[in-house]
Structure 1
Amino acid sequence: MKDGEKSGASAIKSVRTLITTRLSRGGGASFLINSIGMGLAMLLQIALARLLGVADYGIYAFVTTVVTFMVFPAKLGFDTATVKLVSAYRVKGDWPLIKGLLRRSNQIGFTLSILTAIIGIAVVAWMDWGSGKQSETADHAKTIAYIAGFAAIPLLTLATLRQSALQAMKDALFAQLPEKIIRPVLTIGFVAALGASGVKLGAALALLCYLLATAVTYVIGAVVLKKRIGTQTASVVPSFETRGWLRLSSSLMVNAGMYLILGQLNVLMMGFMRGETESGLFSAAVRLAVLVSFMLTAVNMTASPLVSEMYAKGDMNGLQRVCRRTGRIGFAFAAVVFAYFVIFGHWTLGLFGAEFTKAYPSLLILAFGQLFSAYCGQNGTVATMTGRQNSLTKILIAAAIVNAALNALLIPQLGMLGGALAATLSLIVWNSAAVLLVSRKPGVQTLAWAPRLSLVRKRGNYS
């Protein structure tokens, strides 16, 4: 073997070793917390569906979806900006800017979240919930459910900002432990305790338990953050670059908003068009379908820095291998989960309650969309890490518009099937466009398995 061939083989082996090592060890705690957290979240939803019944669970699921949308503008993109900026400031040892950023982001987030919560509560108080066939008691309970959900908005906003700060400090365990582990455990515990004591459960009580659990976990997270950075920032005078921070956070918020719309808009529109009960049934299918692409999302936490590193070095062969290996891991997991839902999806939905099995056809359609997304691999990550984020934003905006239009057209006619079709078609649209985007520039093929494209071969041999 020639020296050049030996050198090339050695380089390939080095890249493969790097990828394997990072994927097996990097982000291990984060992956574990995410896995346990997803399991607990699913357990919480099943327990609530069984304890509350279809109607009240529908209200609970719809309110929490509405709250998710309301928290988003209150954060103003500072959650993503904090991860990016604090990481950079920490390397430089610039604690004045870290302290200033955390203080300013919390001030802005708290102000916006309070205003959002007040507006939401005011709208609920003004609306006449008793205009239908509901009794006054049911009407009152529904109003309390919405008020409890909206009251959690400031706590959820600040908790997300705190989580981002700890993530930037590379404290993956305590960044995610309060919200992903402690909060669902407390919520289940509070609801179960009330049920065991003979209290009649409903959506209002469940959301009050959720509010209490959110408050407890917020305090825990705040204490952890103070201990984590308190010694470095206690005697530091904060520095502020508010205008620059706002420009960055606003731009980062756009893509995050598109992902939120693509993932949750169908649940929201289902509730408005078909009522909370059908929205609750559909929400169970959505939550299960997300499990199909869970591994790809988890692997992405380790793959992102690898993609950035390979691209910065100009190592396009290494970048291609990262995409191929992570994509195949994610797709293999997705295929297994998809097959599980094809065979056992009806039974799994039955764990929520007998009526939830009506969502089985929708689950299969949604799961197929997630399978397709997993097959397309790390296209969004590659686009973002290689400077193609503006083009990706345009793709996501177009897909979000397609999603909203299809929901408006199909949900009134087909109900849950319409929502599932709208979500899956928009997912296929944006993933296909993103694959083409990164195959042209920087010339990377993100599909898990695909024929060699001439466009990619021109960039190098990626076998």
Structure 2
Amino acid sequence: MGIIKTVAGTFLVRSAGMLATLLCSVLLARILGVDEFGIYSYVIALVTILALPAQAGIPTLLLRETAKAKATSDWSRMKGVWLWALYAVSLIGVLIIVIAALLRGVISFDLAELNNTNIIMLGIIMSLLVAIGNVRGAALRGLGLVIQGQLPEEIIRPVSLLMLLIVGAGLSFDINSSFAMGLHVIAALLAFAFGAWLLLNAKPLELRNKKPEIHWRAWCVSSMPLALMTGIQTVNGHVDLLMLGAIGTISEVGVYKVVVSGAALTVFGLQVASVVISPRLASSFARNNLEDVQKIASFGSLISFLFTIPILVLFSIFGMQLLDMVFGSEYSVGYTALLIITASQAISAFFGSSISIMTMSGNERHVLLAMTIAALVNVVLNLILIPSFGIEGAAIATATSIIIWNAYLWAVAKKKLGVDSTFLWIILNRSK
């Protein structure tokens, strides 16, 4: 499938998925109310971090190794990395569940009404199912099946959750944060089953009679910087919400989660571009074709930026009215924070898929350094700004960290690889 068709298909899948996810957020925000929605959002952020070891950088490594193995027709290596990933994720996932169960009666969560560990356990199970789904999706995308690789987590899970919420509300169930998390677990199970069926049918025939070539030590070592990179990136993406819950109030968490959900629309173009170009970048790097790498990278940046700017303008003019009309009047206080985060995401879109460029070229240590610096800045700024400025302070901290890691990775890619991750390369080459 050509890159234009893949981008179009990915755009449709991501559009449908983002719409379903947004509708889920709207329903949850309205059904639960600002406080219960704050608890639900806080637990989602918490268990996402707790379940991090279950991925441990494996999806990125699996995508890269699968794409390289397919490009070189090394089917034994492909079969080996799939089995290695399955063993690793399953083992880590079981350990997390056992440890969480053992500590269930020991750890108490004293955050407003958050004293029910059932929602924590449900959240961990849901996060582990999503983690396994991300690994499976990476295998499909590595095979070049970019659209199929996105369907379970981007379409099936959010649409299933949306349908379950509609049915629950229609039957007048008493939906609180714990009940909503239980519905999310069911949706994750449905996505898991569908994804397993997709991978079973997409498995190359050449794998059947091949003996797996498993490089235990090499892949474990390679996954470590990827694990740290993924971990720090995930923590950096949730630390503002967690610190807002710890320093601020649970209602501020609910409002801020709505702001983040709205701002997520601005990174849609970048997400689409990254999903599409990552396997192509891996293949181009495997062939040492830096000219193709540059073209792919700049194309991704252009798509991202063109999608982001209209959303930034829309939020600037009608942001407060949209928050009031869509989520409810209690969430309109997040307008300023929405503008701050949206502006920083527009800058991120301009810098393009710098993370994909560095990880697909085997330079993930630079991503790790960038994310570490950004996370530290984020934490320090949150500590300083939240007590005085609340959600606006959290937004400023997050926006600053986003700009820092984007600028750093752009500079490193330019210097080390000679690749400009922005679309400026297209403009400069057209003028020659």
- Could you tell me the TM-score, scaled by structure 1's length? 0.82
**1:248 maps to 2:228:** no
Deviation of 1:431 after TM superposition, in Å, equals 2.2
Deviation of 1:194 after TM superposition, in Å, equals 2.0
Q: 1:353 aligns with which of 320, 328, 332?
A: 328
Query: Structure 1's 145 and 375: CA in aligned 2 closer, same or farther, altered over 3 A?
Result: same
Deviates more, 1:305-314 or 1:56-65: 305-314
Cα distance in 2, alignment partners of residues 184 and 166 from structure 1: 20
Task: Considering Cα pairs closer than 8 Å and 6+ residues apart, tell me whether 1 or 2 has the greater RCO.
Answer: 2
Query: Structure 1's 108 and 447: CA in aligned 2 closer, same or farther, altered over 3 A?
Result: closer
Query: Structure 1's 309 and 68: CA in aligned 2 closer, same or farther, altered over 3 A?
Result: same
Q: 1:282 aligns with which of 256, 277, 300?
A: 256
Cα distance in 2, alignment partners of residues 157 and 323 from structure 1: 27
1:103-122, aligned counterparts within 5 Å? 103-122=83-102
Cα distance in 2, alignment partners of residues 320 and 231 from structure 1: 33
Give the 3-state SS of the residue equivalent to 1:174 in structure 2: helix
Give the 3-state SS of the residue equivalent to 2:14 in structure 1: helix
**Structure-2 residue corresponding to 1:428:** 403
Deviation string 1:324-374 (CA, Å, 9 cap, x unpaired) is 554344223222110111112112222122211111111111111112222
Give the 3-state SS of the residue equivalent to 1:126 in structure 2: coil
Deviation string 1:216-240 (CA, Å, 9 cap, x unpaired) is 2212211222232285545554332
Over the aligned positions, Cα root-mean-square deviation in angstroms equals 3.0
Deviation of 1:55 after TM superposition, in Å, equals 1.6
Deviation of 1:80 after TM superposition, in Å, equals 1.0
**Structure-1 residue corresponding to 2:77:** 97
Cα distance in 2, alignment partners of residues 111 and 205 from structure 1: 28
**Structure-1 residue corresponding to 2:240:** 266
**Structure-1 residue corresponding to 2:149:** 175
CA contact (8 A) 2:6 2:146 kept: no
1:384-423, aligned counterparts within 5 Å? 384=359, 389-423=364-398
CA contact (8 A) 1:65 1:264 kept: yes
Deviation string 1:215-269 (CA, Å, 9 cap, x unpaired) is 1221221122223228554555433211111111112223323332332221222
**1:312 maps to 2:288:** yes
Deviation string 1:153-177 (CA, Å, 9 cap, x unpaired) is 3322222211111122222233211
Q: For 1:65, give the aligned amino acid.
A: A
Cα distance in 2, alignment partners of residues 133 and 438 from structure 1: 45
Give the 3-state SS of the residue equivalent to 2:214 in structure 1: coil
Query: Structure 1's 279 and 390: CA in aligned 2 closer, same or farther, altered over 3 A?
Result: same
Q: 1:191 aligns with which of 144, 147, 165?
A: 165
Deviates more, 1:34-43 or 1:273-282: 273-282
Cα distance in 1, alignment partners of residues 62 and 197 from structure 2: 18
- Could you tell me the TM-score, scaled by structure 2's length? 0.88
Deviates more, 1:381-390 or 1:242-251: 381-390
Deviates more, 1:232-241 or 1:175-184: 232-241
Deviation string 1:27-48 (CA, Å, 9 cap, x unpaired) is 4322321221111111111111
Cα distance in 1, alignment partners of residues 2 and 141 from structure 2: 18
**Structure-1 residue corresponding to 2:177:** 203
Deviation of 1:121 after TM superposition, in Å, equals 4.4
Query: Structure 1's 326 and 156: CA in aligned 2 closer, same or farther, altered over 3 A?
Result: closer
1:30-179, aligned counterparts within 5 Å? 30-128=10-108, 139=115, 142-179=116-153
Deviates more, 1:120-129 or 1:371-380: 120-129
The gaps in structure 2 that reach 5 residues or longer are none
Q: 1:217 aligns with which of 152, 177, 191?
A: 191
Query: Structure 1's 178 and 132: CA in aligned 2 closer, same or farther, altered over 3 A?
Result: closer
Q: 1:294 aligns with which of 268, 277, 291?
A: 268
**Structure-2 residue corresponding to 1:15:** none
Deviates more, 1:212-221 or 1:142-151: 142-151
Cα distance in 2, alignment partners of residues 198 and 434 from structure 1: 50
CA contact (8 A) 1:96 1:233 kept: yes
Aligned length in residues: 428
**1:365 maps to 2:340:** yes
Deviates more, 1:421-430 or 1:168-177: 168-177
Q: For 1:419, give the aligned amino acid.
A: A
Look at both structures and tell me which one has the larger radius of gyration over its CA atoms. 1
CA contact (8 A) 1:285 1:363 kept: yes
Give the 3-state SS of the residue equivalent to 1:312 in structure 2: coil
Give the 3-state SS of the residue equivalent to 1:53 in structure 2: helix
Cα distance in 1, alignment partners of residues 168 and 268 from structure 2: 33
